[in-house]
Amino acid sequence: MFYIDTSQMEETLRFGDIIQGFPVCFSVIDTPSYQAEFNIKVSAPTYAVVLSPCCSISDKVLAIAPLEKLENKLFTNPYLSEEPTRINSKVPPEKSVAPIHWENMPPEKKANMAAKGDAYIFVDKFIYAPSDLFQEYTINRKDGNIKTQYYAVDFRSSNKISCDSIKNPQYLPGASKVLQLSVETRELMRRKIASFYRRMPEEEAAILAS
């Protein structure tokens, strides 16, 4: 079960919830400088995802990211195209790329991936399963268009919202909360976002291992 039944949804916000009515804002700059000109891009996505941990939703602050359509490149791998939510868990090395790429991969690289075992792919994304609330859209591909209701959240798109209604000890979102993940799905998301932030550059791993 990806989502809990709407009749069982908690009144308070939880990590991973789908919400509506919240704007998102990103700054756009050409060159980092305190004197540089910048633009602020504000949008009102149909739905957004709560990225604040459950215990940190308070003090008028909430971290959210827009719910986005899937990228075309995800569908180059039949294993993922068949069930996009597979990227939410670690996958076997041979399933992490399209079959043709695995077949043509140098033996040394294959052996290295096999030694590391199952791993996350699309490490900055978490896929949301279809819901009656989600609008169907089309993925345009040369080998045939795909209609889908799967959506994704990009961990890199997190931004801070200040809202007077978000106070201790609880925030009652009312109609703004439309979907809640099951406990099992929320744990999958928690593990993946933790892995996203826990990744370490090879040069730093080498220093720490020395």
At 63 the pLDDT is 93
146 dihedral zone (left: phi>0; alpha: psi -120 to 50; beta): beta
Instruction: Indicate the number of domains in the chain.
Output: 1
Over residues 51-99, the pLDDT tens digits come to 999 888 888 888 999 999 999 999 999 999 999 999 999 999 999 999 9
Whole-angstrom Cα distance, residue 184 to residue 133?
21
pTM of this structure: 0.91
pLDDT higher than threshold 80 for residue 175: no
Whether 22 maps to a domain, the answer reads: yes
Least confident of 92-96, 138-142, 172-176: 172-176
In a domain, 1, yes or no: no
Average pLDDT for residues 27-38, to the nearest whole number? 78
In a domain, 140, yes or no: yes
High-pLDDT (> 90) share of the chain, %: 64
33 in a structural domain: yes
Instruction: Give the whole-angstrom CA distance, residue 94 versus residue 120.
Output: 12
In a domain, 200, yes or no: yes
Query: What is the b/e burial string over 108-126, where b = at least 16 CB atoms within 10 angstroms of the residue's CB?
Result: eeeeebeeeeeebbbeebb
Residue 110 above 60 pLDDT? yes
Residue 102 has pLDDT above 70, yes or no: yes
Is 85 domain-assigned?
no
From 21, 22, 19, 16, select the one nearest 3 (Cα to Cα).
16
The answer to whether residue 100 is domain-embedded is no
Q: pLDDT averaged over the chain?
A: 90
Q: Which whole-number Å values give the CA distances from 74 to 92, 100, 109, 185, 202, in the listed order?
A: 16, 15, 21, 20, 26
> Does residue 47 lie within any of the structural domains?
yes
How far is residue 86's CA from residue 117's CA, in Å, rounded to a whole number? 16
Terminal CA-CA length for the chain: 45
As a whole number, mean pLDDT of residues 36-54 equals 88
In the structure encoding, which two tokens stand for residue 209, read together?
């291992």
Q: By residue range, what is the domain housing residue 198?
A: 6-71+123-209
**C-alpha 22: how far from its chain's center?**
17
